[in-house]
Amino acid sequence: MQKLTRDDLYSLEKYAETRGEFRAQVMAHKKNRQVAIGPHATLYFEDRLTIQYQIQEMLRVERIFEAAGIQEELDAYNPLIPDGANLKATFMIEYADPEERQEALAKLVGIEDKVWLRIEGFDKVFPIADEDLERTTEEKTSSVHFLRFELSPEMAAAAKSGAAMAVGIEHPNYSHTVDALPGAVRDSLVADLA
């Protein structure tokens, strides 16, 4: 998938004009790119459109309009766009109650390495997590992680040919499986593969 450049982005003025329509388009798109794994963990699979939205929102909130600042955002977020041989996701651990969340994050150290994705007929693929910076300490994990699932050409071909896809987490304190991704989600993710 092609990385974003400044030419792909709306100016702040243009984004203000089109934000409502663009946001609605992205939210509809995102519905087919998220998978809840149990009650407190969700994978939000990223692609060029979701990352463009993230950058546009950052530029808007921070009022960034100078070339250097825009390039910094592109450099920060472009690595989250899949490159055709992988799937990339934001992994979120979600507890509404702050105290419960703190307790859970202390019990879930290393969970980001225990998330997996499997293409039917192949072994589980565990992610390369948090390539940009370490988000886990000995005392607790973060509630947000960035994951990259590298797929072999054979796995990608099988997925593109209709093989089922499953995801799960195998952590001693949080173990859940989604045996088959819904068809619309699977189809959206397969579009990321070369």
pLDDT tens for each residue of 56-67: 999 999 999 999
Per the listing, tokens 């896809």 go with: 165
pTM: 0.91
Determine phi and psi for 38, rounding to 5 degrees: 75, -170
| Ranges of each domain in the chain | 98-194
Average pLDDT along the chain: 94
* Higher-pLDDT residue of 151, 130: 151
pLDDT at 164: 97
pLDDT at 133: 65
Closest listed residue to residue 153, CA positions, set 189, 193, 186: 193
pLDDT at 136 > cutoff 80: no
Beta bridge partners of 41: 93
Query: Measured on CA atoms in the order 90, 94, 99, 103, is the torsion positive or negative?
Result: negative
pLDDT tens for each residue of 98-107: 999 999 999 9
